[in-house]
Amino acid sequence: MKYRFIGLFIAMLCSMATFGQITVKGSVKDKGAIPIPGVNLIVKGTGTSAATDFDGNFSISVPNKNAQIEFSFVGFTNKVVPVGDKTVLDIVLEESSQALDEIVVVGYASVKKSDVTSSISSIKGKELQTMTVGNVAESLQGKVAGVQITGQGGPGAQPRVLIRGISTVNLSTDPLYVVDGIPMGTSINFLSNNEIESMEVLKDASASAIYGSRASNGVILITTKKGKAGKTRFNFDMSSGMQLMSNPYNMANAESYASIMNKAYNNSGYADYLSNPSQYRGKTTDWWKAGIKGGSPVTNASLGVSGGSETHTYAVSLNYYDSESIYEVGGWERVTMRIANDFKFSDKFSAGITLNPRYEKWGGPNNWADFDKIDPITPIYKPADQLTGLENEYSIYARSPSYVWNPIAAVKRYDDYTNQYNLNTNGYLQYQPIKGLVIRTQGSIEVGDKTQSIFRPDFVIDAAHEKAEINSVERKNTTNADWTWQNTVTYTKTFAGKHNASLMIGNTMEEYNSNDVWGYGEGIPNNSDSMRELKAATKNRRSDGNSWSSSLMSYISRFSYNYDAKYYFTGTFRRDGSSKFMDNNKWANFPSASVSWRILNEGFMEPAKSVLSDLRFRAGWGKVGNQNLPAAVYQSNIKQGFYPIGGNVVDTSFPDTMANKDIKWETVEDISFGIDFGLWKNKLSGSLEYYQKKTEDMLFKKQFPTYSGFPGYSTIWTNVGSMQSKGIDLLISYKDKKGDFTYGVDVTFTTVNVDMLSLSADGERLYGAGNRTLTVKGEEPGYFYGYVADGLFQNQTQINAHTDEHGTKLQPYAQLGDIRFKDVNGDGKLDDKDRTKIGSPWADYNVGLNLNFGYKQFDLVANFYSSIGNDIVNENIKDLYNGASLTNKVSGLEQMAWHGEGTSNYVPRLSKDDNNENYTKFSSFYVEDGSYVRMKNLQLGFSFYNKFGLDKLRISLSGQNLWTWTKYTGVDPEVAGGDPDKDDRVKGSGFGAWNYPVQPTILMGLNVAF
């Protein structure tokens, strides 16, 4: 009986709850009576939520007539409406005054965009998600004025990011990335663009000085998505497609190759290299087709779950990214997960924790150039009559007389992969004892494990040139354990209704610890997969290992003030102490100050408000630093090697890096002036900024003086001089809506001019890239330095006229069709003194054009990017045109190369000997205009709202990097160049060889929300 009573009681409660529910229906439109689809509705104080359909209609249940519904949509002001006795609501949303009230993240705080006094560009995560990229920085290309991004191509490759040019010559040029308040170094390969809520780029020192010694290359702040109160929401996003790889060159077939080489031999007085070229007709080995895939799959998939209540919100995301290589093996695979929980225990106390586990695997051959360079006559495999039956699976391939190793065989042997596991934990506690006072502590711990495993099988393709008579195995394991701890106290107060002030003080501590262990061995009994272990090695076992750590302690402060939303001031101060320096230079100060005048709020501007919606002037100054160098440059290091003595190879030790106890911080000081404007309710808006930054005490790794008695290859870190960058950033944006049609246009424009102001000694010359670049006072760093190619000798008269005052020929070995090198200094000799500036890798302008259109359920996005005024060294010319090597040549070279007066004034005659050094002298012959315009993205989408039981369903078709205009004849004009591992990111910039191109990609996309 009692159970029946309990059941009846529960049924009554349920009936009462149901009875109390009210269903509210209605529509949401803008001021022009245009329905707004996708508007979010939340019943305040509950977890109930809904969204409008394509026609702007909605239906939602509320608990009673005292309920309030909040309506929100991007670009419109939120509206809270009490239900009362109404069951039908017709809502009109007002467009917000652009995002003057939107929140922008700055260092260790968030402020209204209208209160920003520094140079900060903000971009929302939604704008980044139209592209499928492995590194989210690529999505910024062309979207932020003052930021130059150069893709590197290849699975997992990190793009080069320059914020307002370069500020260092020898160190990394990458900005600092700060994710959810935690500095994460100079790479964000671990982060999916689907996880990002917003990105802020701190471009000047007045904005980035709060990050002190790590901010000289700029700072990019990233805020990831967090949960929001309301019902649990699921989001699934997926894009999948093919990266297309076509041969950048039309290479000669076997018959044409034989003809070209014969011509080169004959021009040098030799007999034919290959008799009767016609015998090779139809016998071309198509290396490219045999070893390079025309399309490599790429997949990016994310699943997100978010929701919560007013006291607890959560967001969980899982992302999978996979990009295969252009070969049968290799690629980049990444799995990331982000679990964020935020708790509000009371009006005064809140906390949050985020876990970010991730896994990556990468590796792949890097010899795609060999598929073009190897001659087309050599077969892939040895002829049957050359096989003995004793060869292993790696020894059955043919050898090319061009000395290019068989690329098919190299891919078959490839076994070099890296696996990396990381776990980052980021948590915070926040306490607000009184109104306006916030005490916050935040900490992060990251642990990681990276293992690189390499196996090199034994093989013999040619006993003299292409072999490895003994196999080997190598493994390197690197672990890291890093932590940061930040403590801040912020007090915000408004006085007399017009004086608004905020003071923040705090300190941060960071420590980075890492160690590696390396092992090597040879003589593994066989090449099977199960035997590719160090333990299986029987000969020459070796091992090594090391550990290192660095730490940074900082004190930070910021004071902000504005009067009556007209006059703004922000000042910051940071003091950093780094373990990388000795006591006398361990600490450095990094101050900044910026001001803003929002002139539109002045009384005399009242008549202009019918047109103007924003008008501000800004100015900023600040200092930032750079300590991005090895952990202990104040120590001398000994290196181990091997040297033959008395017929035996013995271990040796020798000085490698010399100590410099006086090394100090690299410092960048900059000033900037800007104007922000908006017209017609910010339909047209933008900003114009001028900046100038000066770097002093540049950190540089120099060769140790030979008179010291130390080996000539010994180096020492030192401070070498100063440089200056200046330019302008321009952003213009126009957005409007006509009925069901919406459109927007954004244009970004950037200029950068860089000059060396001084070096450590007058007349000092810093060379790079094998002495092919030069850095001197008064010029931009790393300009191309070589001879001037002054056309080709067309006739004997021109050769005879190229002499000194005594009639001695400047180029005694020159023949008709050879390059004429210019006697630049006019001294009658052609020597090193005639080398001069022949080009610059730095662009004069960078331009971005971003278009978006919408009509009813359709949307279209188009992004373009352009680099103008930079040069590129096309190193492939030496392989493709030079008859002195036996590598394959471009098709039609016989006609391209000089073969009679007037036939060419660019490509020299074909020659086996190249006695004139047409190809061995580095000259302007190699330098080409590197300007280009590229369509970065074109995406067409169609959306369904409240259909199929889903809140939203969107399908899309995208094309990335589909079209490029350029005069550059190399592989790809999007060239960064330089090797960061060799400290020549700047001094070696602009060299385009067989760089992995940025590939065209076709993708289908699916976005689901429910």
Give the dihedral sign, CA 108/114/116/122. positive
Q: For residue 122, which of 102, 148, 139 has the smallest C-alpha distance?
A: 102
Tell me which of 220-234, 515-529, 677-691, 857-871 is least confident: 220-234
> Going by C-beta distance under 8 Å and a sequence separation of 6 or more, which residues neighbour residue 926?
786, 873, 874, 875, 877, 878
- Find the angle CA(468)-CA(469)-CA(475) to the nearest 5 degrees: 60
Q: What per-residue confidence (pLDDT) applies to 74?
A: 67
* Residue 304: its H or E element: strand 295-308
Q: Could you list the beta-strand ranges (E) of 523-662.
A: 539-563, 567-578, 587-597, 612-626, 637-645, 648-658
Of 224-238, 616-630, 951-965, give the range with the top mean pLDDT. Answer: 951-965
pLDDT given for residue 655 in this prediction? 67
What average pLDDT does this structure show over 929-945?
Answer: 93
> Which whole-number Å values give the CA distances from 233 to 49, 268, 317, in the listed order?
10, 75, 12
Question: If you write DSSP's letter for every residue of 759-790 in order, what string do you get?
Answer: -SSTT--EEETTTTEEE-TTS-TTEEEEB-EE
Q: What is the pLDDT of residues 252-279, one digit of tens each?
A: 999 999 999 999 999 999 999 998 899 9
Write down the pLDDT at residue 640.
Answer: 67
Q: What DSSP letter does each residue of 405-421 carry, written as one string?
A: --HHHHHHH--EEEEEE
pLDDT of 772 above 70 = yes
Q: How far apart are CA 947 and CA 54, in angstroms?
A: 9
Task: Look at residue 63 in the predicted model and tell me its pLDDT.
Answer: 84
pLDDT in tens, 948-1005: 888 889 999 999 999 999 999 999 999 887 665 556 678 888 999 888 888 899 999 9
CA angle 73, 76, 352 (to 5 degrees): 55
Among residues 99, 104, 109, 24, the alpha carbon closest in space to that of 68 is found at 24
Q: CA angle, 484 as apex, 483 and 488 as ends, to 5°?
A: 160
Confidence band (pLDDT; 50, 70, 90) for 11? Answer: very low
Question: How high is the pLDDT of residue 284?
Answer: 95
For residue 661, give both structure tokens: 């106890």
Whether the predicted pLDDT of 817 surpasses 60: yes
What is the structure's pLDDT at 3? 44
Report the mean per-residue pLDDT for the chain.
88
- For 389, phi then psi, to 5°, come to 90, -5
What tokens appear for 989 in the block? Answer: 């910039």
Half-sphere CA count of 503, side-chain side, radius 13 A: 4
pLDDT digits (tens, 9 = 90+) for 839-851: 999 999 999 999 9
Q: Each residue of 711-749: pLDDT tens digit?
A: 656 677 788 889 999 999 999 999 998 888 899 999 999
Task: Please report the pLDDT score of residue 705 as a whole number.
Answer: 65
Q: Which residue has the tokens 């072999």?
A: 467
In this model, does residue 615 exceed pLDDT 80? yes
Neighbours of 746 (CB within 10 A): 22
Q: pLDDT at position 652, please?
A: 67
Burial zone of 783 (CB within 10 Å; 0-12 exposed, 13-18 middle, 19+ buried): buried
Sequence spans of domains, the chain: 2-93
Whether 324 shows a pLDDT value over 70: the answer reads yes
Q: In this structure, which amino acid lies at residue 439?
A: I
Report the distance separating Cα 775 and Cα 725, nearest Å.
15
pLDDT at 101: 61
Query: What is the pLDDT at residue 427?
Result: 95
Q: Which residue has the higher pLDDT, 252 or 13?
A: 252
Compute how many other C-beta atoms are within 10 angstroms of the C-beta atom of residue 242. Answer: 17
Tens of pLDDT, residue by residue over 113-144, are 777 888 888 888 888 888 888 888 888 888 88
Q: What pLDDT, in 10s, does the model give residues 282-317?
A: 999 999 999 999 999 999 999 999 988 889 999 999
Q: Taking the domain 2-93, which CATH number applies? A: 2.60.40.4130
Give the pLDDT band (50/70/90) at residue 362: very high
Band (pLDDT 50/70/90 cuts) for residue 637 is low
Return the higher-pLDDT residue of 399 and 206.
Answer: 399
Res 240 pLDDT > 50: yes
Is 12 a residue whose pLDDT tops 50?
A: no
For residue 372, give the 3-state DSSP assignment. Answer: helix
Least confident among 325-339, 445-459, 755-769: 755-769
Say how far residue 177 (Cα) sits from the centre of its chain.
11
Q: Which residue has the higher pLDDT, 143 or 637?
A: 143
pLDDT at site 97: 53
Give the other-Cβ count within 10 Å of 133's Cβ: 22
What is the per-residue DSSP string for 52-108? --TTSEEEEEESSTT-EEEEE-TTB--EEEE-TT-SEEEEEPPBPSGGGGSEEEETT
Span 514-522, average pLDDT: 94
Is 629's pLDDT higher than 50?
Answer: yes
* Cα 592–chain centre separation: 27
Question: pLDDT band for position 204 (50/70/90)?
Answer: confident
pLDDT interval class at 2 (50, 70, 90): very low
Three-state SS sequence of 888-956: CCECCHHHHCCCCCCCCCCCCCCCCCCCCCCCCCCEHHHEEECCEEEEEEEEEEEEEEEECCEEEEEEE
- How confident is the model over 885-931, as pLDDT tens digits? 999 999 999 999 999 999 999 999 999 999 999 999 999 999 999 99
Q: CB count, 10 Å around CB of 240?
A: 15
